[in-house]
Amino acid sequence: MVARIKKTAARAILDSRGIPTVEVELETQNGCGRASVPSGASKSSFEALELRDGGKKFFGYGVSKAVASVNGIIGPKLRQTAFSGQTDFDEFLISLDGTKNKSKLGANAILACSMAFSRCLACESGTPLYASFSKVRRYCLPVPFFNVINGGAHAGNSIAFQEYLIAPVGAKTFAEAAQYASEIYHALRGLISRQFGRSATNVGDEGGFAPPLSDVATPLELVSRAIGEVGLQGKVSIALDVAATSFFDGKKYAIGGGKRLGPGEYFDFVEGLAKTHRIISVEDPFCETDFAAFSKFTRENKAIQVVGDDLLSTNPVRIARGVRTGACNCLLLKPNQIGTLAEAVRAANLAYGAGWGVMVSHRSGETEDTFIADLAVGLGCGQIKLGACARGERTAKINQLIRIEGELGSNGKFAGREFHRPARQLGFSL
């Protein structure tokens, strides 16, 4: 199939933090697609460049330059070219930008086009978006990892760890997983309200609670108690995104309450915490440059999924290094860290090839776009990180997955306890 772009339009909209982001609309002969891009707060130093205006307007966070990239440069070129598919389209954008980190046109401008084009292609072929990533008889619905307590760069409290997540691995369906999460979320609200007062039930950027704590262990106890209160022990596990770079000063890890641990002491501390609380998955437990600590942790804790986010930054060079050194066993897949869908899918395939898992992820600044829900189903990765089960930009993705599950009926299967074993045999290609 050859797709010709007939119309292009870009605009600035607001994300869930009230900060501008890029939205793009594309029209082909028989299709159309709209997409908007998310934005991180705890970004790694290795991500593709998100083009911001600087200056006074929006405190420098404006995206009029990125919008102009689409309306003034990318759009006119796209309208003169025919594309044979997603890879062709994305490679065209990559070479039009010509930089290593998409700093000329902006990864935010490029990714919005890439995603919108993907929707055009799905439209052209009359298939749901998830089916345009892989055509299989049976799709896998991912286990949602819900972030119910927020700390780090996502909250105004003093909890050093960024995310305390619940994973309903014992649910039978995605809809049941959402039900479990909702029950635990509200039990947790009650617990926090009774212990710290109602004002402590205010939420952080991803919709999780942000109680006024300054140690990293108490949130784990609170989450365990909430799970127990609604009788879901054994069905719902706990996971962490430590985002350790944010509290490492180059020498020590400041874990809260004035405690600063050197790398060796901190390693034992994190390992102990993960074992005591039977954590099933831990993301970025160490600073983003410390491949050696990641490798040691992964080697010594075979029962725990070790996820590389800041460490790998969805970047093929860093993933290759992670594979070589055995630094983790799961890639956190964030399309905007690399800037096109074709590259994101290639990153997933690199991880699959190494026998790793893949967890598709939102960003802390999100829009109502549900793209990642379809991406996770299409890639058959078995796991997705979504924030809390509250707030529109988070529930948009959850509700899309509920819809997909309903639409698939017996052609869909919830990953459950097999979440870390992606459906590699599906043979993904764009």
288 is a contact residue toward Mg ion (CB under 5 A): no
Q: Which stretch binds Mg ion (CB under 5 A): 188-196, 257-265, 302-310, 320-328?
A: 302-310
Compute the distance between CA of residue 103 and CA of residue 353 in angstroms, rounded to an integer.
Answer: 29
The span from the CA of 38 to the CA of 186, in Å, is 27
Tell me whether residue 334 is one of the annotated catalytic residues. yes
**Minimum separation from the CB atom of position 40 to Mg ion (A):** 8
CB 335 within 8 A of CB 90: no
* Residue with Cβ nearer ligand 2PG (311 or 402): 311
Which partner, ligand 2PG, Mg ion, none, binds residue 246 by CB below 5 to 8 Å per kind? Answer: none
Task: Report the residue number, 290 or 309, with the smaller CB distance to Mg ion.
Answer: 309
User: Out of Mg ion, ligand 2PG, none, which partner does residue 52 contact, by CB within 5 to 8 A per kind?
Assistant: none
Tokens found for residue 391: 């707030």
* The token pair that represents 309 in the structure block: 């986010």
Helix (H, G, I), strand (E, B) or coil at 148: strand
**Hey, how many other C-beta atoms are within 10 angstroms of the C-beta on 172?**
12
Judged by beta carbon distances under 5 to 8 A according to partner kind, the member of Mg ion, ligand 2PG, none in contact with residue 361 is ligand 2PG
Could you give the count of Cα atoms lying within 13 Å of 361 in the half-sphere of its Cβ? 28
Residue 205 touches Mg ion, criterion: CB under 5 A: no
Shortest separation between residue 297's beta carbon and ligand 2PG, angstroms? 18
Nearer to ligand 2PG (CB atom), residue 241 or residue 405: 241
Binding site for ligand 2PG (CB under 6 A): 40-43, 153, 162-163, 206, 241, 243, 309, 361, 363-364, 385
Output the smallest distance, CB 342 to ligand 2PG, in A. Answer: 22
Catalytic annotation, pick one of 47, 124, 163, 206: 206
* 265 given a catalytic annotation: no
- Give strand pairing partners of 385: 145, 361
What are the contacts of 266-273 at 24+ separation with CB within 8 A?
A: 267/293, 267/296, 267/297, 270/242, 270/297, 271/297, 271/300, 271/301, 273/216, 273/217, 273/220
Report the residue number, 123 or 372, with the smaller CB distance to ligand 2PG. 372
40 binds, among Mg ion, ligand 2PG, none (CB under 5 to 8 A by kind): ligand 2PG
- Cβ(167)–Cβ(235) below 8 Å: no
Picked from ligand 2PG, Mg ion, none, the partner binding residue 23 (CB below 5 to 8 A depending on kind) is none
Candidate residues 23, 53, 206, 241; the one interacting with Mg ion per rule CB under 5 A: 241
Q: Minimum distance between the CB of residue 363 and Mg ion, rounded to whole angstroms?
A: 9
Question: Looking at beta carbons only, is 363 or 424 nearer to ligand 2PG?
Answer: 363
Residue choice 97, 309, 393, 405 for contact with Mg ion (CB under 5 A): 309
Q: Closest separation between CB of residue 2 and ligand 2PG, Å? A: 36
Alpha helices in 277-332 (DSSP H): 291-300, 316-325
Residues 105-135, buried b or exposed e (16+ Cβ, 10 A)?
Answer: bbbbbbbbbbbbbbbbbbbbeeeebbbbbbe
Q: Which does 343 bind (CB under 5 to 8 A by kind): ligand 2PG, Mg ion, none?
A: none
CB 151 within 8 A of CB 163: yes
Indicate which of ligand 2PG, Mg ion, none lies near residue 363 (CB less than 5 to 8 Å, by partner kind).
ligand 2PG
Pairing of strands 143-150, 163-167: antiparallel
Task: Give the CA distances from residue 3 to residues 28, 203, 288, 375, 392, in Å, rounded to whole numbers and listed in that order.
Answer: 6, 44, 40, 21, 33
Q: Which of 43, 102, 334, 385 is catalytic?
A: 334
Asked if residues 387 and 394 have their Cβ atoms less than 8 Å apart, the reply is yes
Q: Which is nearer to ligand 2PG, 123 or 332 (CB)?
A: 332
Judged by beta carbon, residue 53 or residue 309, the one nearer Mg ion is 309
Q: Least Å distance between CB 69 and ligand 2PG?
A: 22
The total of other beta-carbon atoms located within 10 Å of residue 167's CB is 25
Residues 87, 91, 93, 99, Cα dihedral to 10°: 140
Least distance between ligand 2PG and beta carbon 204 (Å): 10
Active centre residues (catalytic): 206, 334
For binding to Mg ion (CB under 5 A), which residues are involved? 241, 309
